[in-house]
Amino acid sequence: MNIHIIPCLNDNYSYVVENKKTKNACVIDPSESVPVINFLKKNKLNLKYILNTHHHADHIGGNLELKKEFNSQILGFEKDKNRIPGIDIFLSDKQIWNFEGSDVLVEHVPGHTSGHIFYYFKNEESVFTGDTLFSFGCGRLFEGSYLEMVDSLKKIKLLPTKTKIFCGHEYTINNLKFCMEIDKNNSELKEKYNQINNNIKNKLPSVPSSLGDEMRLNIFLKFDNLEFKKRLGFEDLNEVDFFKKIRDLKDNF
């Protein structure tokens, strides 16, 4: 299978997963239909499924036009069935869905929204995290508690460290700037910033990141790292309070 990055709107990413042999494809979070339709037609792909991570407009905007064009089926979390346009298949937490013989683990990760899910493609060692985990950042809490978001991020952390992270937005440079502001003098962060800054200057996407890099450098995933919390002077804060502190600082960054 091939994974293709389709830039949409201002800073969104939709992703097309293609079975090279059958030319069948699915799309994750089509923000808008036109760039996705153009890509599929150019590559002569048949769009079988539309997968949504959550109900926000910039993740479902292309649903209905794509469904009409390709006669595709739309998948989303069962409890979001009333706010995902055109939904056909209701997914539940920890369900294994199958795409072209490849297992896809679905997990419920509330926090950004109450019905947010991720899609982990096992054979491809790739997870589509929508607006829950970003490269070196995480989503804002619109419908969930800090505790829920911490629990959701823990679920992502349990995936294999080599997992590739495909997130919903190109926010990476700003996220890295914030990480460097908090985690001062971390040379690996600076290296990562320079590397990604070069990509962006050359109009290349920063995605995918890897879970291993995220666990080492993304401060939103380091709520359980005592040594790190000590270095920042936050050793008295428990996991959720530490996460809240960082999330609140980022909201005002």
- Report in angstroms how near the CB of residue 237 gets to Zn ion at its nearest: 27
Lateral strand order in the sheet of 2-8: 2-8, 12-18, 24-28, 46-51, 73-77, 89-91
Please name which of 119, 208, 172 lies closest in space to residue 11, comparing C-alpha atoms: 172
Scan for tokens 């920890």, then name that residue: 94
Query: What is the C-alpha separation between 46 and 23, in angstroms, rounded?
Result: 6
In the residue annotation, 11 being an active-site residue is answered as: no
In the residue annotation, 58 being an active-site residue is answered as: yes
- Report in angstroms how near the CB of residue 159 gets to Fe ion at its nearest: 21
Catalytic one of 29, 55, 56, 116? 56
Please name which of 89, 146, 165, 79 lies closest in space to residue 116, comparing C-alpha atoms: 79
Question: What three-state secondary structure class fits 221?
Answer: helix
- Report in angstroms how near the CB of residue 212 gets to Zn ion at its nearest: 25
Indicate which of Fe ion, Zn ion, none lies near residue 148 (CB less than 5 to 8 Å, by partner kind). none
Site string for Zn ion, 174-213 (x = CB under 5 A): ----------------------------------------
Applying CB under 5 A, which residues contact Fe ion? 58, 131, 168
For 48, residues 6+ apart whose C-beta sits below 8 A from its C-beta are 24, 25, 26, 70, 72, 73, 99
- Report in angstroms how near the CB of residue 156 gets to Fe ion at its nearest: 17
User: What is the footprint of Zn ion within residues 103-162 (CB under 5 A)?
Assistant: 131
Query: What is the C-alpha separation between 74 and 49, in angstroms, rounded?
Result: 6
Which range of residues in 5-13, 53-61, 87-95, 228-236 is near Zn ion by CB under 5 A?
Answer: 53-61
Catalytic one of 80, 108, 116, 131? 131
For 180, residues 6+ apart whose C-beta sits below 8 A from its C-beta are 186, 189, 190, 193
In the residue annotation, 112 being an active-site residue is answered as: yes
User: What is the footprint of Zn ion within residues 76-105 (CB under 5 A)?
Assistant: none
Lateral strand order in the sheet of 117-121: 96-99, 102-108, 117-121, 126-130, 164-167, 209-210
Catalytic one of 29, 55, 80, 112? 112
Single out the residue of 6, 31, 56, 153 in contact with Zn ion (rule: CB under 5 A).
56
Indicate which of Fe ion, Zn ion, none lies near residue 18 (CB less than 5 to 8 Å, by partner kind). none
Amino acid at 95: Q
In the residue annotation, 54 being an active-site residue is answered as: yes
| Residues near Zn ion (CB under 5 A) | 56, 131
Could you list the active site residues?
54, 56, 58-59, 112, 131, 169
